[in-house]
Structure 1
Amino acid sequence: MVAVTADWVTFPSGDAAIRGYLAVPTGVERPPAVIMAHENLGVIPHRRRVTEELAAEGYAVLTVDLFSRIGGRPPQEYATQEERRAKAFLAARDEQAVPDLEAGLDHLAARGDIDTARAAVVGFCLGGGLAIVWAAQTDRLSCAVPLYGIPELPAAYSPTGAVRSRIDIADRVRCPVQAHFGGADTVIPLDQVTRLTDALERSGRPTEVHVYEGAGHAYHDDTHPNHRPEAARLTWERTLAFLGEHL
């Protein structure tokens, strides 16, 4: 573990100014890059803390604020939690969010003090699905680690009004993938995890899919009611090992 410096940064993505929370390890020459993709709640204090914790392991970590265009928070007008989640996913739809993640990597590359030839994406929930999508579109990633990314987005979460499947594209990922799911996740049926695993393995890239018995959605977040300390600890250990192997 090393000391880190952390602060907000701003960078362009198309015509938009995107912000991100960047944590860089001190005293580490040209550290590898990790782009972090947040859950549907945005860059909450927990996400900023995890950004710093991962940077303390020797990585330059940028959590891209995928809600930058609407003030840095997910949509705030909703009647139910389901509507809240749907509006958040629509505000960070693939067509916009993946280029924003790419722009974050461009920002790190332009600094000159970060080795973006060694780059990974780590995503949570909404960001976990985006990690799979991005990994299927780019050769710039050395590996991807999605945590409880929804394999099949419900129609209400999709800008097309139809189910948006990450399973259908998972066999096209271009880098090793390590995915993590809760065995008691009421948001993600286990049959979707099974089908996603099969698709990832068809890619021919190294694939690990871990399911944690009794863990629900968002189990890694120690500020969430679903937090499961043992599953979170093991997920973090496996994530660090995977990043260490491929970066």
Structure 2
Amino acid sequence: MTTITTRKIEYPADGLTMVGHLALPTGVDRRPAVLIGPEGPGLNDFQRRRADALAELGYVALAFDINGGRWFTDPEEMLARVTPLLTDPDRMRGIGHAALDVLRAETRTDPEQIAAIGYGTGGAIVLELGRDGVDLRAIGTVNALLTGRPGEAARIRCPVWAGVGSEDPIMPPAQRDAFAAEMQAAGVDWRLTVYGGALHAFHHPPVDQKVVPGVGYHPQHAHRAWQDIIGFLAECLPIAE
């Protein structure tokens, strides 16, 4: 484990001032980098700690913002923000590109060695970066909306991993099958992990917000999903010894 430094970064996207969290490993050399997208309520300490954990492994990591610095505790407010976003791939791509530009501009980032992972809405955003043809080394998602505009998956240039809960009402079997068909038709190196008994947002510990049906924390699968992401990154974006 390595010593890290962190800092807040403000940047414009989607008509808002986004507030990202950058985590850097010790040293001055260029390192592989990971973009981290948060779920619909926004960027909170959970995702900031994920960036810190990746920096401790030796990656440059940027947890990006999607809500202009806001964390929504009211599901209705959150849905009013993210539902139109999730139906507009171009807006999602704009948010993703703005964050990616910040990560690439960091002097510690190796611009040829960048992966993107995301949770929920953030996962949908990083998948749209892939469908937009961005040169990434890996795309990983948890609890994300997985399907996109027909044919655009053919532009994905890297392996894709997706993790979903078997009982997630937002990603039922038909949607999982549609994702598999989309990736397979596009010739993508893809994999899908289904965590048995898990609901939507199974990865996120309980927080002070209203609980809605179909959402619930599953600590065992949360740990497994994180380990799966670490293994996926180690395969596709290894840290040189």
TM-score category (smaller protein): 0.7 to 0.9
Is residue 2:114 matched to residue 1:119? yes
2:42 partner SS: coil
1:140 partner SS: coil
1:8 partner SS: strand
TM-score (norm 1): 0.82
Who is 2:97 aligned against? 102
Quick check: 2:42–2:72 contact (8 Å CA) kept in 1? no
TM-score (norm 2): 0.84
CA deviation string 1:99-149 (max 9, x = no partner): 232222222322322112111111111111112111111232111001111
- Distance in 2, Cα, partners of 1:95 & 1:123: 17
RMSD: 2.5
Quick check: 1:133–1:166 contact (8 Å CA) kept in 2? no
C-alpha change, 1:28 and 1:219, in structure 2 (3 Å) is farther
Give the residue type in structure 1 aligned to 2:55: A
Counterpart mapping for 1:29-108 below 5 A: 29-68=29-68, 72-73=69-70, 81-82=75-76, 84-90=78-84, 93-108=88-103
- Distance in 1, Cα, partners of 2:126 & 2:226: 17
Where do 5+ consecutive residues of structure 2 fail to align? 208-214
Quick check: 1:34–1:121 contact (8 Å CA) kept in 2? yes
Where do 5+ consecutive residues of structure 1 fail to align? 153-164
- Distance in 1, Cα, partners of 2:146 & 2:76: 17
Give the residue type in structure 2 aligned to 1:210: T
Query: What is the CA distance between 1:65 and its match in structure 2?
Result: 1.2
Query: What is the CA distance between 1:24 and its match in structure 2?
Result: 1.1
Query: What is the CA distance between 1:84 and its match in structure 2?
Result: 3.5
CA deviation string 1:87-107 (max 9, x = no partner): 333357532332232222222
Give the residue type in structure 1 aligned to 2:96: L
- Matched residues, percent identical? 29
Is residue 2:127 matched to residue 1:132? yes
Quick check: 2:43–2:71 contact (8 Å CA) kept in 1? no
